[in-house]
Chain A
């Protein structure tokens, strides 16, 4: 019998959990030991961040204890990785131990860096983590009209459609409360359109116009003037606000930079098709931790995990896996009351958005259930 190999996975978010579970389903315990290291207190289904602040969903349905999300036969170590050494082939954790590996999979995700925007902290709101989303819910309850500015401070961010999704739901929330006519919604965006993908941007822009949402494109946030309640752009434009809902900048995790594996923003530069790092055929990165030219989204991590799990399982079995990852991703995004669109795309096939669909809306509204019952378990 060939010696037992070890797949060491760093990260217990969507990417780390899905790849661990998929690998376990595709390999036997006597051929591959799967070890996951992570220190998340909760596993939060982040797409629900657009619903929670608007009282559309109780947050408890969006969180699980990460311990219970791993399939049997996976060793889960709750600790923080402090060093990754791909030359000596080991990973060190805060508790003092080190772990070697045959396959290393880095799935460490993002971190939010509001400190990158002067004036942000204590002033701007956001919905990109559970506590800020709950805080925003309280703030919105007290809001009775004025100027709301929604947008993102910079690119890249997780789940690129989320700012426009939130804006559509906010529009409906204000209508339901009878204060939409007393509120101006401003949408700011860093590019010269309202979304990265131009084929989708036109569709979203028309819907914004229909709903009276004002857009400010080529708006890269420089700073927030808290005294005058004004957000200023690098391009020299300013927008006044009574409430500022701004997705903070993102960076990769510090341990990636400190281990010498990161680009300028802290992300890992991996092969676009093989997901390998710097030509090492036993070091991979998936999900938001990479600088792949695909959306930073659980949906992308899901597709990457499918490819990588099959690749590793084939390698253990001594067979070549001929497939490659080609940037596949699919996501359903909300565009208003009872409406959503589903986008399918890859590196060479841009998405198309032509019509709204109620069935897509139902797909989106139940996605946490689908995620926790099937997707995160590796069976989809």
Chain B
């Protein structure tokens, strides 16, 4: 059974349109510590590709992209210093 990932912070950007959710993620990322896990909730379909692309480019770890009930959850681990 997979271990449940407990986020350090949940960023609820549901109802916000592109690029709002990604900007929320970046804003919270700047304030996070190395090792923190951020979970982004978004109802905007563009986030499903935009956020993982940003996580990859920024050199952090994408822990998962999940389809939830009416929204997406994207989970990031801050691995950069």
A: residues with CB less than 8 A from B are 154-156, 190-192, 196, 198, 218, 220, 234-237, 264, 293
Specify which chain A residues have a CB less than 8 angstroms from the CB of B53 in the assembled complex. Answer: 192, 218
Specify which chain A residues have a CB less than 8 angstroms from the CB of B49 in the assembled complex. Answer: 192
Q: Which of A155, A192, A218, A237 contacts B23 (CB 8 A)?
A: A155
Specify which chain B residues have a CB less than 8 angstroms from the CB of A155 in the assembled complex. Answer: 19, 23
Give the residue among B18, B19, B22, B58 with the most A Cβ atoms within 10 A.
B19
Known A192-B50, A192-B53, A220-B26; judge A235-B20 contact (CB<8 A). Answer: no
Minimum CB–CB distance from B40 to chain A (whole Å) comes to 15
Specify which chain B residues have a CB less than 8 angstroms from the CB of A192 in the assembled complex. Answer: 49-50, 53-54, 57
Minimum CB–CB distance from A342 to chain B (whole Å) comes to 22
The answer to whether A191 touches B50, judged by C-beta atoms less than 8 angstroms apart, is: yes
Known A155-B19, A196-B19; judge A236-B58 contact (CB<8 A). Answer: yes
The answer to whether B46 touches A234, judged by C-beta atoms less than 8 angstroms apart, is: no
Q: Which of A154, A218, A264, A293 contacts B57 (CB 8 A)?
A: A218
Specify which chain A residues have a CB less than 8 angstroms from the CB of B50 in the assembled complex. Answer: 191-192
Specify which chain A residues have a CB less than 8 angstroms from the CB of B27 in the assembled complex. Answer: 264
B34 within 8 A of A: no
Known A198-B46, A218-B54; judge A234-B16 contact (CB<8 A). Answer: no
* 4 new A-B contacts at CB < 8 Å, known A155-B23, A191-B22, A293-B17: A154-B23, A156-B23, A192-B57, A236-B58
Question: With A and B bound together, what is the CA distance between A218 and B53 in angstroms?
Answer: 8
Known A220-B26, A235-B59, A236-B58; judge A191-B19 contact (CB<8 A). Answer: yes
Question: With A and B bound together, what is the CA distance between A155 and B25 in angstroms?
Answer: 13
Known A234-B26, A234-B29, A234-B58; judge A190-B80 contact (CB<8 A). Answer: no
Specify which chain B residues have a CB less than 8 angstroms from the CB of A154 in the assembled complex. Answer: 23
B68 within 8 A of A: no
Question: With A and B bound together, what is the CA distance between A156 and B27 in angstroms?
Answer: 13
A and B contact pairs by CB, cutoff 8 A, 29 listed: A155-B23, A190-B19, A190-B26, A191-B22, A191-B50, A192-B49, A192-B50, A192-B53, A192-B54, A192-B57, A196-B18, A196-B19, A218-B53, A218-B58, A220-B26, A234-B26, A234-B30, A235-B54, A235-B57, A235-B58, A235-B59, A236-B58, A236-B59, A236-B80, A237-B57, A264-B27, A293-B16, A293-B17, A293-B20
Taking chain A's interface residues, is the majority helix, strand, or loop, or is none over half, making it mixed? loop
Specify which chain A residues have a CB less than 8 angstroms from the CB of B57 in the assembled complex. Answer: 192, 218, 235, 237
Question: With A and B bound together, what is the CA distance between A20 and B11 in angstroms?
Answer: 39
Minimum CB–CB distance from A345 to chain B (whole Å) comes to 12
Specify which chain A residues have a CB less than 8 angstroms from the CB of B26 in the assembled complex. Answer: 190, 220, 234
Specify which chain A residues have a CB less than 8 angstroms from the CB of B23 in the assembled complex. Answer: 154-156, 190
Question: With A and B bound together, what is the CA distance between A237 and B49 in angstroms?
Answer: 20
Minimum CB–CB distance from B52 to chain A (whole Å) comes to 10
Question: With A and B bound together, what is the CA distance between A192 and B27 in angstroms?
Answer: 17
Question: With A and B bound together, what is the CA distance between A155 and B24 in angstroms?
Answer: 10
Minimum CB–CB distance from A287 to chain B (whole Å) comes to 18
Specify which chain A residues have a CB less than 8 angstroms from the CB of B19 in the assembled complex. Answer: 155, 190-191, 196
Across chains A and B, which 10 residue pairs bring their CB atoms closest together, nearest first?
A293-B17, A235-B58, A218-B57, A192-B53, A235-B57, A155-B23, A155-B19, A218-B54, A191-B19, A236-B59
Closest to A160 in B: B19
Question: With A and B bound together, what is the CA distance between A192 and B18 in angstroms?
Answer: 12
Specify which chain B residues have a CB less than 8 angstroms from the CB of A293 in the assembled complex. Answer: 16-17, 20
Minimum CB–CB distance from B15 to chain A (whole Å) comes to 9
Specify which chain A residues have a CB less than 8 angstroms from the CB of B58 in the assembled complex. Answer: 218, 234-236
Minimum CB–CB distance from A216 to chain B (whole Å) comes to 10
Closest to B80 in A: A236
Closest to A197 in B: B18
Minimum CB–CB distance from A97 to chain B (whole Å) comes to 38
Minimum CB–CB distance from B19 to chain A (whole Å) comes to 5
